[in-house]
Every structure is written in structure tokens, then in C-alpha cells.
Structure 1
Amino acid sequence: MERRKVTFKLYPNATEAERLTGWIRLHCELYNAALEERIDAYRKHGKSISYYDQQNVLPEIKADRPEFVELGSHALQQTLRKLDLAFQAFFRRVKSVQTPGFPRFKANKRFAGFCYPDPAGWKLLQNGGRGATLRIGSGKSAMSIRARGQHRFGDGAKPNDLTITRKNGEWYASVTLRVSEDACARARSGDATRGIDFGLNDWATFDNGETIANPRFVCREMPRMADLQRQQARKQRGSIRSRRLGSQAAKLHERIGNLRRDFLHKQTSRMVRECAVLATEELRTRHMSRSASGTKEKPGRMVKQKAGLNREILSAGLSMAHQMLAYKAAEAGTRLHVANTRQLKPSQRCAACWAIVAKTLAQRTHVCSHCGHTAQRDQNAASVVLIDAHTPGTGVAARPKPLSRQRAKSKSVTRETPATESQDS
């Protein structure tokens, strides 16, 4: 069984929204109280309190505070488990000599939501089309909240857990489904073999010269974002107008994220639908978007320009595109080859003679000084990773001699997907 997450938008009425807000406030109170207990126990007595110690106290808490009863035992346990995971991450970072980041107390307005870790205490009813109803609780106290959304996995999908979140004044329900492999399968309408080079001038360049334009969602919305931030800077901090402008800026960021996610889903779905083999290079966007500010002793150079480049790298969503390609290729029976960038050096290697031709980032045309091969830089890199996909091994050591440009059809070892109706995401 595979697991897939589906997000529904909730439309609670005023009473239901007030009740959900109260539940979040109680979960936040429990989280902060558990954190304070751990801090005080270690500071005063040198004792570490585990998750199980705090979980065993929940019956006493519910006896003293009846308002916690309707939240459900499993949801309360998940909130305590969330704090325990934060401490585990803290100790892991301390052990690996990273910035520790001790768990902090959370304000009610910054506490995102709560989670039901299993199907108990809630039920999702699909009403046909994109309509749905989320039922939370049992008996007379149960709530039936209107929802909007759908998934492509059919009636055989079994719910596993539910997360209720509040974002910019709106409510969402993320449901994890357990789905069979057959229900996950995607249709594949073509058997093309393509090399892809992701970039910023063009979001994607294929080995045959086809390109996908970079939508630059952040760049297009920058004037509007700057205007909102200037207006908010002139308002008194904490005032109604300041909060209203902050809410508008947050919704603009959310819109940019939604547009980016929709674009990536559509493009990656089209790629795996049309191709039997996809080849690309490994991208470490975390390192690519690292700040150039440096330190006080050794300050960096061109910090403002590098900040703009980092913004464009993150706006393109290259890491998210790789993640989508990975699971969609497995669903469609497409072989995805990810070349080792450090060993292969696709941007510097000639696709015709396999020689290394050093180029600066400003040089957008590949001209080989060894064989005279000329091509657009990104197209040449896409051809290099495609040749690498048809050759055993990854990197220069596996190919001591130049390779022929003739590409044999790859034999995919993955399963073939039965023909079903394709989906964009």
C-alpha cells in the first residue's frame, strides 16, 4: 500500500470556526504546558521527562479540565508527540554540532493546527464531484463541516490520518490516504526519451531544443509585495491597519505558492506521461541558494546580487520539481535517471566528444574547442545527462573513451502502467 496526501479546503460556519479556534487554543496550551514541565524538571531536579511520562498524565488532565475531553485522546497524544519530535531534533543537531534551536513556546495565533494520527474520531464523506463533508467527533457534539476537494484514487483509498490547519484565516484538512499500487498508477501516452536541464532563463530545456518558459511568479508580484510592505511600514505596529496589510501580504505569498505548485504539477505530469525515460542532473538548491553575506571578518561580495539570484532559484521550485518527478515517474512506469553533477559536470562537458570545455555562467552557447560542436548551453547539458542515462555508471570514470552521439533505446526495468485516464496532478 502506498500513501498519498490530499488537501481539502474547509468552509465552517461561524459557530464551527469558533469551536475549531477553541480547540487549537487548547492544543497550544497543552503543548506549552508540556514544554514548561520538561524545562522545569531538568532545571530544578536534573530529570528528563519522556513522551510516555506526559502521555500517562492525560487522563488526570481531562478529569480536571473537562474541555479537553472532546478533543480526543489520540489528538492530544499527537500534540505531545509533536513536542517530543522537536526535542529529538534539538538533540540531534547538538550532537552533529549544528545550530541547536531549542524548542520554543508557541503563541496561539502561530499554532498551526492539530492532528488525528489514525481514523478514529473523524470521517471524510465524498459527496460526488469536488464536494465533501468532514465529520469530527461523535454523538451530539460532532461537527459536519463542508469541504471542497477531490482525489483520483477512487473509493478503495483508506484514510490514515487527518491534520486540521488554520492559515491566513482559512481552514484546511490534509488527509493521508492508504492507496493500492494499481490505484496510484498513471497513464503513459508516449515512449519518448528526454534529457532535461533545469534553469532560470528557461525553467526547463530538453535535449531536442524544446524549452519551458520560467513563469517567475515572485518577480511578477514583487511590485505589489513591495507596495504592501511600504504601506505596512508606515502604520503603527500592532494596529488594525498594520495587521490588515500583513494579512494581505500573507495571502499574496500564498497565491504565489499555489501558482507555483499548480505549474509544477502540470509540467511534471506532462513529462512522465509523454516519456519512457527522463534524465536530469542532481540539484542541491540548499547549497545553490546559500547567502553570500559572509562573516564580519570576511564579508562577502555582491551580496545584493546573490540575494536576487537566490530568490529566483527558490521561486523556480527546482527541488519540488525533482520530488514530483520521482514519485510520478514511479507511478507511470517511467525510468528517471538523476546524474551525479559533481562527477559528470553537464554544463562543462561536450555532448559530442565528451571533453571538458570550461565556461563561465555568462556564456550561454557551448562551443567545443576539441571537436567544434556548437549548441545552446542548456541543450548541450540536457544531451549530456541523456547520454549518461544510457551508459552504465555515473561520472567520468565509467567512460574513459568518448561516446557516440547515437542513442540506443533504453530498456526500462520498471513496470508498465495499464492505460487509465491521465490526471494533471
Structure 2
Amino acid sequence: MQRRNVTLKLYPNAARAARLEAWTRLHCELYNAALEERVVAWRKAGKSISDFDQQNILPQIKADRPEFVELGSHALQQTLRRPDRAFQSFFRRVKAGQTPGFRRFKAGKWFSGFAYPDPAGWKLMQHGGRGATLRIGSGDTALSVRARGLHRFGDQAKPNDITLTRKGGGWFVSVTLRVPDAACARERTADMRRGLDFGINDWATFDEGPPIANPRWVREELPRLAALQRQRARKRKGSVRHKRLGHGIARLHDGISNRRRDFVHKATTRLVQQCAVLATEQLTPKTMSRSAKGTAETPGRRVRQKAGLNREILSAGFGMAHPMLAYKAEEAGTRLHLSNTRQLKPSQRCAACWEIVPKTLADRMRVCPHCGHVMQRDQNSALVVLIDAFNTQDTPGTGVAARPKPLPRQRGKSRSVTRETPATTPCV
């Protein structure tokens, strides 16, 4: 049994939306009260309060505040677990030598939503196709909201928990499903072996064949986004028009995010369905999109150009592509090979003679001075990671050291660390 997540959009009318807003404000009030109790108890008495201690006070809270009764005990308990997990994360980072910010109180308008951690207190009824109804609570106080969404697991998937969130002026419910292994499996339509290199000019370049173009969602919407931001800058903060334009900007960003996620989902699905072996390199978008501003003592160079490059890197969605490929490859029985970028250096290494020749980002064609091999830069990188995948198919984790016979002028290379998903079908 595995767990999968599906998000459905809710369509409440004005009365139901106001009720959801009221419930969210009550959950926010409970969260802030629990956070304040923990802070005051530590400052005054040096005492730590656990979430179990706070959950034991819920019956008294519901007796004093009857409006909390219809929220459900399990949802209230889940809200009380949030500050506990937040403090655990805070102290873990402090022990690791980091400098995280202390937990803050949340405003009602920024409180994301609430959750039901088990199947009690709610029911999701699918009506066939994409239509559904979410029922929260029971009896006369129950709240029914129309929903829209669909998953590929059919009737075998059983809902386990839900999280209601508001985003961009709309309401969404994220449902965790318990799915049998057989229902998770994906059918593979081909057994190709491909290496790919993610990039900006083309979203994905393969060792052979046409690339996948980069849609550049953010660049297309930049003029519209800039116009909305200029209009909002002319309005008085806190006014109705200022808030209305802020909601418009948020909806524009949500639209870009939805199109990006839809594109990456479809692209990764096609890749794992067509490939028995899929090789690429490990990417760290957080490091790749680091600012070039520098410090006052050592200011950076070409800061605006690097800012534009960072925007394109984040817009391409590389950070979500690898996790999607990982779990989809396991479901389809595809071997996913992630080469260690620092050790393999696919952008600098020649796929023909395996020599490393440094290049800048402006060098889009690779002309090897050692063997004369000429190939487009990204295509060469895709071929390098594919060769690395073949060399390590019998000895996972050996990386670039697994080349059977080092070529002339090639030094011994350190052991590479690669990460692979378990293959359910033999790879030859």
C-alpha cells in the first residue's frame, strides 16, 4: 500500500466560503494561543509544554467557546500539532548551527488553512468524471462543498486525510490516498535508453532526437505582471483598489505555477513511459540560482544579468522535475540514473575521448581540442550521463570510475556517488 496526493478545487458559494473563512480564523486563533502559551511558560517558569498537554485542554476550550465544537476534535488536535512541529524544526536547525527565525504569530488572512489527519469528520464523494462533493462535519452543522478534480487510481484508492487551503482567492482540498501497489504501476510503451540534459534554451536536450522546448511561462507574463505592479504602486496601501490589484497579481502567479506544474507532470510522464533507462545529472536549483550581488567589501559583477538567469532557472521548474521522475520511474520500472555533477562534470567532459575542457556558458558548441569531436554542448552532456549510466549499471555508485579502460591522457578519477531508483525490470 502506497500513498499518493491529489488536489481538488472547491467551489463554495458565498455563504459556505464565509463559513470556511470563519473556521480558518478560529484555527488561527487556536494556533496563536498555543504558541503564546508555550512562549510564556518558558519565559516565566522555564517549562516546556507538549502538544499532548495542550490537547488535553481542548474539552475545556470547547465548553467555554461553543463555536469551536463544530470544527471537530481531530482538526483542532492537528492545529495544535503545528506549533509543536515548528519548534522541533526550529531547535533542530539551531543544533545544526543554522540561524532560523523564531516562530511568529500568524495573522488570520495569512493562515493557510486547516487539516483533518484521519478519515473521521469528513467524507469525499466522487460523482464520476471530475465532479465530487466534500462533506465536513455531521448533522445539521455539516458543510457540503462542490469539488472538481480527478486521479488515475480509480475506486481502489481510499482517502486517508485532507488539508483545506485557500490560495489566490480560491479554496482547495489536498487529499492523501492509500493506493495498492498494483494501482500505482505505470505501463511502459517503449524501452528506449536516453540521456537528457536540462537547460534554459531547451527545457530538455537528449543524446539524440529533437529537444523539448522551454515554454518560458514567466517571460511571457512579465509585461502583464509589470503593468499590474505599476498600477498597484500608484494606489494607497490598504485601499480597496490596492488589495484588488494584489489579488490580481497573486492570480497571475498562480496561473504561471499551474501551467508549469502541468507541463512538468506531462513531460516526466512521457519520459518514464518511453524509457527503460533514463540518465541525467543531479541539479541543485537553489545553488544555481544564488544571487551574484556579493557584499559591500566584495561586490558582485553583472548582477542584473545573473538575476535574469536566476529567474529563468526557477521558471523552468528543475526542482520539481527530479522528484517527479524519481517516483514515476519507480512506478514504471524505469531505471533512473542521477550522475554526480561535481565529479562527472558533464558540461566540461567530452563524450568521445572523456577529457575535460573548461568552457563558459557562452560556448554552445563543443569542439574538443584533443580528439576533434564536435557536438552541441547540451547534447554532449546528455551523452556523457548516458555513458556514465551504462558504465555503472552492474556496479551502482561507481560513477565515472567505472569506465572499463581509461583513455590516453586520462588521470584516475575519484569514486562517484550516484543515486538510482530500484529497477523492477532487468536492464541490459
Aligned to 1:84: 84
User: Tell me, which stretches of 5 or more residues in structure 1 are unaligned?
Assistant: 404-411, 418-425
One-letter code of the match for 2:369? Answer: S
One-letter code of the match for 1:398? Answer: A
Which residue of 394, 397, 402 maps to 1:398? Answer: 402
Indicate the percent of aligned positions where both proteins have the same amino acid: 72
CA distance in 1, matches of 2:351, 2:296: 43
Q: Output one character per residue of 1:13-38: Cα deviation in whole Å (capped at 9) or x when no partner.
A: 22211111110010000001111111
**What is the RMSD of the two structures over their aligned residues, measured on CA atoms?**
1.5
CA distance in 2, matches of 1:144, 1:151: 21
Summarize the alignment of residues 8-407 of structure 1 with structure 2, pairs less than 5 Å apart: 8-392=8-392, 393-399=397-403, 401-402=405-406
Please identify, of 93-102 and 329-338, the stretch whose mean Cα deviation from structure 2 is larger: 93-102
Tell whether the 8 Å contact from 2:34 to 2:80 is kept in structure 1 after alignment: yes
CA distance in 1, matches of 2:101, 2:312: 28
Tell whether the 8 Å contact from 2:159 to 2:175 is kept in structure 1 after alignment: yes
Shift of 1:416: 4.9
CA distance in 1, matches of 2:249, 2:343: 43
One-letter code of the match for 2:110? Answer: R
SS of alignment partner, residue 212 of structure 2: strand
One-letter code of the match for 1:355? Answer: E
Shift of 1:352: 0.9
One-letter code of the match for 1:222? Answer: L
Tell whether the 8 Å contact from 2:217 to 2:260 is kept in structure 1 after alignment: yes
Shift of 1:9: 0.7
One-letter code of the match for 2:72? Answer: G
Tell whether the 8 Å contact from 2:158 to 2:177 is kept in structure 1 after alignment: yes
One-letter code of the match for 1:318? Answer: F
One-letter code of the match for 1:401? Answer: K
- The answer to whether the aligner puts 1:415 opposite 2:424 as a matched pair is yes
One-letter code of the match for 1:198? Answer: F
Tell whether the 8 Å contact from 2:6 to 2:151 is kept in structure 1 after alignment: yes
CA distance in 2, matches of 1:103, 1:259: 33
Q: Output one character per residue of 1:15-68: Cα deviation in whole Å (capped at 9) or x when no partner.
A: 211111110010000001111111111122222212111111111111111111
Shift of 1:369: 1.2
User: Tell me, which stretches of 5 or more residues in structure 2 are unaligned?
Assistant: 408-420
Aligned to 2:417: none
Tell whether the 8 Å contact from 1:353 to 1:402 is kept in structure 2 after alignment: no
CA distance in 1, matches of 2:132, 2:68: 27
Shift of 1:215: 0.6
SS of alignment partner, residue 145 of structure 1: strand
Tell whether the 8 Å contact from 2:8 to 2:149 is kept in structure 1 after alignment: yes
SS of alignment partner, residue 155 of structure 2: coil
Q: Normalising by structure 2, what TM-score? A: 0.93
Structure with more relative contact order (C-alpha pairs < 8 Å, separation 6 or more): 1
One-letter code of the match for 2:259? Answer: L
Paired residues in the alignment total 409
CA distance in 2, matches of 1:11, 1:395: 51
One-letter code of the match for 2:60? Answer: E
Tell whether the 8 Å contact from 1:339 to 1:388 is kept in structure 2 after alignment: yes
Shift of 1:413: 6.7
Tell whether the 8 Å contact from 2:10 to 2:146 is kept in structure 1 after alignment: yes
CA distance in 2, matches of 1:26, 1:369: 68
Tell whether the 8 Å contact from 2:124 to 2:135 is kept in structure 1 after alignment: yes
Please identify, of 293-302 and 273-282, the stretch whose mean Cα deviation from structure 2 is larger: 293-302
Q: Output one character per residue of 1:162-187: Cα deviation in whole Å (capped at 9) or x when no partner.
A: 00111122111110001011101111
- Structure 1 runs of 4+ aligned residues shifted over 6 Å read none
SS of alignment partner, residue 189 of structure 2: coil
